[in-house]
């Protein structure tokens, strides 16, 4: 085995940490890593990555696919991002709430991906804004995700701000990194969740990491690891909603404020405390039969959602160039408002 005690670069790469157990002793490195990853990562791909120096064993680069594992070996795999086409301008309508020479604030619809990525190279918010803003947006903060300082899930609607200058990108990035702890950033989300929460106000303080069952999902973790992150969500119940006419709370309208900004944070946290979002096929699929306790009108509205009931309703921040405080709110979109109106 050729060993080079050189740390691997992690910028722009997908990193996975694995630990060999007693049952993995003497297994080939390439076979062990392949079996530990989703089926779409082939063994030949893993062998190539090993030979290219993208795997370390106990913090030392290992370029031998047939290396035999020892109990406790720590394997770190980094899958470099494939070459990506540059995002192209596309004439897609955008709901603009505010715009000046430094930034643009939009109300993103559900179903729109924020920036191009595997499986979504076109039709994204970035493609739309490149057409709308022209050369003023190109390359700001990076050519792959120009202007992007924060994101919303594809099926989450609501307010986003995008930078149009380097000054704006730097200033906004700093505010989002602070999450409003010491700075002016404020964010609020509306969510429709199943059931009646035990308390009308509360805080969910639970670290999030990559799910061990599905690498594309997140889950609450009990032990901090290289992929886990501190995550805090504050919530308050706005309305208890009765879907039966019997005075029982079947659904709650909840406002959430983020103290951290992790991937899928609200969705995972609400599911973790037993109140997943309506329509959430990833983190609330086990609650699908709950629609049967609703009135026919509400049941039909929920079944038409085709997305999680989450909306970024409020965004406030300091203008990175002028210092003026900007505050924006967006009402619930029609699909979520229809569900809300169906409750008596």
| Catalytic residue chosen out of the listed positions 30, 73, 153, 280 | 153
Reference 193, options 263, 272, 295, 257; nearest CA is 272
Q: Which residues contact 45 (CB under 8 A, 6 or more apart)?
A: none
Query: How far is it, in rounded angstroms, from Cα 100 to Cα 178?
Result: 24
- Burial status of residue 316 (CB atoms within 10 A of its CB: 0-12, 13-18, 19 or more): middle
Query: How far is it, in rounded angstroms, from Cα 156 to Cα 193?
Result: 14
**Angle formed at CA 187 by CA 116 and CA 307, multiple of 5 degrees:** 50
On whether the CB atoms of residues 308 and 156 are closer than 8 A, the answer is yes
Query: How far is it, in rounded angstroms, from Cα 283 to Cα 199?
Result: 21
Reference 27, options 66, 63, 56; nearest CA is 66
Task: Tell me, rounded to whole angstroms, the distance of Cα 332 from its chain centroid.
Answer: 20
Q: Which tokens hold the place of 305?
A: 């959602």
- Would residue 153 show up in a list of annotated catalytic residues for this protein? yes
Other CB atoms within a 10 A radius of the CB of residue 109 amount to: 15
**Residues classed as catalytic:** 153
């Amino acid at each position: 085995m050729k060993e080079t005690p050189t740390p691997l670069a992690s910028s722009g790469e997908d990193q996975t940490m694995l630990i060999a157990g007693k049952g993995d002793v003497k297994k080939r490195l390439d076979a062990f890593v392949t079996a530990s990853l989703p089926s779409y990562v082939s063994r030949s791909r893993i062998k190539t990555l090993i030979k290219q120096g993208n795997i370390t064993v106990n913090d030392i680069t290992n370029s031998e696919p047939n290396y035999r594992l020892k109990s406790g070996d720590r394997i770190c795999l980094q899958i470099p991002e494939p070459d990506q086409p540059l995002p192209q301008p596309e004439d897609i309508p955008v709901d603009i709430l505010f715009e000046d020479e430094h930034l643009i604030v939009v109300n993103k619809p559900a179903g729109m991906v924020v920036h191009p990525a595997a499986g979504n190279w076109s039709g994204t918010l970035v493609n739309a804004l490149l057409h709308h803003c022209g050369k003023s947006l190109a390359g700001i903060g990076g050519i792959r995700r120009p202007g992007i300082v924060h994101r919303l899930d594809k099926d989450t609607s609501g307010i986003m701000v995008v930078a149009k200058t380097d000054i704006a990108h730097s200033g906004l990035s700093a505010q989002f990194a602070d999450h409003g702890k010491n700075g002016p950033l404020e964010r609020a989300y509306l969510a429709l969740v199943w059931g009646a929460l035990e308390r009308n106000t509360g805080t969910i303080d639970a670290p999030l990491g990559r799910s061990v069952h599905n690498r594309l999902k997140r889950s609450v973790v009990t032990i901090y690891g290289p992929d886990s992150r501190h995550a805090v969500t504050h919530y308050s119940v706005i309305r208890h909603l009765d879907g039966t006419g019997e005075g029982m709370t079947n659904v709650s309208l909840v406002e959430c404020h983020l103290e951290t900004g992790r991937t899928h944070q609200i969705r995972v946290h609400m599911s973790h405390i037993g109140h997943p979002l309506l329509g959430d096929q990833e983190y609330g699929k086990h609650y699908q039969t709950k629609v049967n306790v609703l009135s026919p009108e509400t049941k039909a509205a929920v079944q038409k959602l085709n997305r999680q009931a989450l909306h970024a309703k409020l965004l406030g921040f300091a203008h990175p160039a002028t210092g003026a405080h900007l505050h924006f709110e967006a009402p619930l979109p029609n699909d979520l408002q229809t569900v809300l109106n169906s409750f008596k």
